[in-house]
Structure 1
């Protein structure tokens, strides 16, 4: 079993601003053993390692990361720490009412836990809990959230608050926003600072981390052997926490499709933000399937992202997921449309990154077929900053062979709709993506999308939020 490796991705603004903390640990060199080896040094891998050490301080845990910790999706996202309330309808598709409430409440509580973790370990990850706005920026998207709010009401919970059009425009600093709802529990972080802080805590806990160590071969067995360029690790259990790179494994490739997302960052404009009235520090998304997501930063910038959805043939993690110019231009165009008053504002950074999307935008966990000791957690779909805390608990329980509320939760071994093989995956996915772009451009301009584009767009996987 071989895993694809890649050169380091273009660094995000989040990581570029931490240059003094980006010195990698030494790569693996030699033959080693461990109780549990984790492939991937992002949020999921590090939360798994830290959870294992919390449960058993004497356990020997090794983390193997092909770049630096945070060099993949964990250091390249928008820093939104969200719950699973927007996905409550999708949870109910495979969960009972009690199970869905357990997972949704746990995901919300993980936001609190993240703030407590940063405070306990003095990690300056810019943790700010000011809530999230789910908005409509075209009449066609008004009330997109109604189905989700109605589902929450049937479950007896009220995580969302409806806002007037005036309130939404004022809170977002733009009257392009026509309507919206507010979820108070959500937070934002500087994701690069968070993942590098987690890395430091893990190392202080005795977890061995080898960066610049791509795993090029996995040999299953009673003891699993992981081989890198200049060494190997033999472990009783292995956890795969590789995000979109998991598509290199055929069994997992059918469950996820890597798609890109891009972010642009402005120059510091604190006085302009003040004049606009965008001072509440809430995170914001619109209701497009190729969602726009944006927030302000501590130094008065706007970080504006878009799920641009570009694919690579064979699910290879190539430049599509690093510096994809077409996607960055789409993202800038949506930024300029959303904030037309900032036409003269310069952009200082732009990058792309990979998302491991499932059909319902929720993760799944399990153990590779034919093994009892190679476990995986995949399909974070662009919303892993907060829920990865739960993923660490699930994967730790699986690796330890413990039957508890995490290893037996409905996210483990769930049946999921699969994606087609190549070339149909790439050709069909590109066809659907282009239809989504045309459909949403028409909606944004007030026009009626064509029937064909609406039909093709309906084949796309679920977005960040459930739709009515």
Structure 2
């Protein structure tokens, strides 16, 4: 099977600020052998490699990355380290109560583990654990979280706190926020610094990392042969951890659709943040389907993102997922609407990035049909910084052929709603996306969306949080 590759994406602000640490490892040349070869050097691939080394220090692990580690989604996201409590309703749709609690608690504990990992390895990833606000910025979205809180209550869990309107406005620094709930366990990181720090730990552990090494094709067998530009790798097991790029594999293309998300970053404004009262370092998202997500940085900037949802025909990872002017304009417009007092604050950096979206916004793991030694973990849907720790455990168990709580968890081999093939995927997805934009613009202005837009928007995949 052939794999799609793309030229390196435009660097995000997170990686631009780490220029001195971006020297790539050598590209792969010649013939190499491995016990496990991992395609993708982001959070999922590196956690898988590190977990394999934890379990067997002598295992021969190779990571193949077409750009640099973090050049894809792992170095382009908002740096939100979230749990799966907002997705508890989706978990319960295919898990027992016990299984849903296991995964939700494990995802919450992964936030703690990430902080401990950074401390242990002295990674300055700007890890800050100050919680997450889930808000409504229009009356139509108030109480969007009720079904999620009710599901948690039925399970005996209470991860969220309801807040008054005044409390939400004060914590967020904006009166645009009308209501909200608070999840105390969540954190933020500088994602570029985290992924580059993980890379350094992996290299120290003896994991071989080849950057600027796209895999052109996979030849199944025992061993699997990975064909690269200037060499080959023969591996007993292969892990596909290439997220949105996995859509080039026909068997996986139906499970995910790559959509874009965009982020704008302001100049440093620490004194203005103090004036508006946004000093608690909480991360925030609103309740739009094309969600706004935003946080402050160590040097007093605002990083404001939006799940802008643009697609590319054939799921090609092109400029749509690097620097997409329309999406960046939508993102900046929502930043100005949310913080009108900062209307004159300059934007100093902007970019887009790929999200591998499943229909329910939870990942899926499995093994390719007819290839018992090729495994995948895809569909992180914009929430991979924290849960990727669990993904590394699941994929390590699959690669090792170990039957344990990770390889047998309900995320493995689950039945998912699938996306249509082209051209229906692109044209139909674009029609639905435009309906969502019109619907949410109407809601933000206090108008009632048209019936056709409400109907079409209902066909969209689930967002970052479950909705009522």
TM tier relative to shorter chain: over 0.9
Which string of whole-angstrom CA distances, capped at 9 and with x for unpartnered residues, describes residues 199-242 of structure 1?
Answer: 00000000000000000010000100001100010000000000
Which string of whole-angstrom CA distances, capped at 9 and with x for unpartnered residues, describes residues 413-441 of structure 1?
Answer: 00000000000000100000000000000
Q: Equivalences for 1:290-439 in 2 at 5 Å?
A: 290-439=290-439
Q: Residue 229 of structure 2 aligns with which residue?
A: 229
Alpha-carbon offset, residue 274 of structure 1:
0.4
1:262 aligns to 2:262 (yes or no)? yes
Q: Residue 159 of structure 2 aligns with which residue?
A: 159
Extract unaligned runs of 5+ from structure 1: none
Q: Residue 143 of structure 1 aligns with which residue?
A: 143
Q: Equivalences for 1:85-104 in 2 at 5 Å?
A: 85-104=85-104
Q: Residue 450 of structure 1 aligns with which residue?
A: 450
Which string of whole-angstrom CA distances, capped at 9 and with x for unpartnered residues, describes residues 282-318 of structure 1?
Answer: 0000000000000000000000000000000000000
Counterpart CA distance in 2 for 1:80 and 1:278 is 17
Alpha-carbon offset, residue 319 of structure 1:
0.4
Counterpart CA distance in 2 for 1:174 and 1:446 is 18
Counterpart CA distance in 1 for 2:418 and 2:364 is 12
Counterpart CA distance in 2 for 1:227 and 1:28 is 10
Which string of whole-angstrom CA distances, capped at 9 and with x for unpartnered residues, describes residues 144-197 of structure 1?
Answer: 000000010010000000000000000000000000000000000000000000
1:114 aligns to 2:110 (yes or no)? no
RMSD, matched Cα:
0.3
Counterpart CA distance in 1 for 2:248 and 2:108 is 32
Counterpart CA distance in 2 for 1:57 and 1:421 is 43
Alpha-carbon offset, residue 466 of structure 1:
0.3
Counterpart CA distance in 2 for 1:285 and 1:64 is 34
Task: Please state whether the residue corresponding to 1:264 is helix, strand or coil.
Answer: strand
Number of positions where the alignment pairs a residue of Structure 1 with one of Structure 2: 468
Q: Residue 34 of structure 1 aligns with which residue?
A: 34
Task: Please state whether the residue corresponding to 2:215 is helix, strand or coil.
Answer: coil
1:25 aligns to 2:25 (yes or no)? yes
Task: Please state whether the residue corresponding to 1:441 is helix, strand or coil.
Answer: helix
Q: Residue 126 of structure 1 aligns with which residue?
A: 126
Counterpart CA distance in 2 for 1:316 and 1:254 is 14
Counterpart CA distance in 2 for 1:148 and 1:418 is 24
Alpha-carbon offset, residue 391 of structure 1:
0.1
Q: Equivalences for 1:46-57 in 2 at 5 Å?
A: 46-57=46-57
Counterpart CA distance in 2 for 1:227 and 1:203 is 23
Counterpart CA distance in 1 for 2:172 and 2:296 is 10
Task: Please state whether the residue corresponding to 2:369 is helix, strand or coil.
Answer: coil
Counterpart CA distance in 2 for 1:427 and 1:91 is 29
Task: Please state whether the residue corresponding to 2:213 is helix, strand or coil.
Answer: coil
Counterpart CA distance in 1 for 2:197 and 2:222 is 34
Task: Please state whether the residue corresponding to 1:23 is helix, strand or coil.
Answer: coil
Task: Please state whether the residue corresponding to 2:37 is helix, strand or coil.
Answer: strand
Q: Residue 215 of structure 2 aligns with which residue?
A: 215
Q: Residue 43 of structure 2 aligns with which residue?
A: 43
1:172 aligns to 2:172 (yes or no)? yes
Task: Please state whether the residue corresponding to 2:371 is helix, strand or coil.
Answer: coil
Alpha-carbon offset, residue 25 of structure 1:
0.3
Which string of whole-angstrom CA distances, capped at 9 and with x for unpartnered residues, describes residues 328-381 of structure 1?
Answer: 000000000000000110000000000000000000000000011000000000
Q: Residue 6 of structure 1 aligns with which residue?
A: 6
1:272 aligns to 2:272 (yes or no)? yes
Task: Please state whether the residue corresponding to 2:244 is helix, strand or coil.
Answer: helix
Counterpart CA distance in 1 for 2:406 and 2:153 is 26
Counterpart CA distance in 2 for 1:428 and 1:4 is 23
Counterpart CA distance in 1 for 2:313 and 2:240 is 22
Runs of 4+ in 1 over 4 A off after TM superposition: none
Q: Equivalences for 1:177-216 in 2 at 5 Å?
A: 177-216=177-216
1:59 aligns to 2:59 (yes or no)? yes
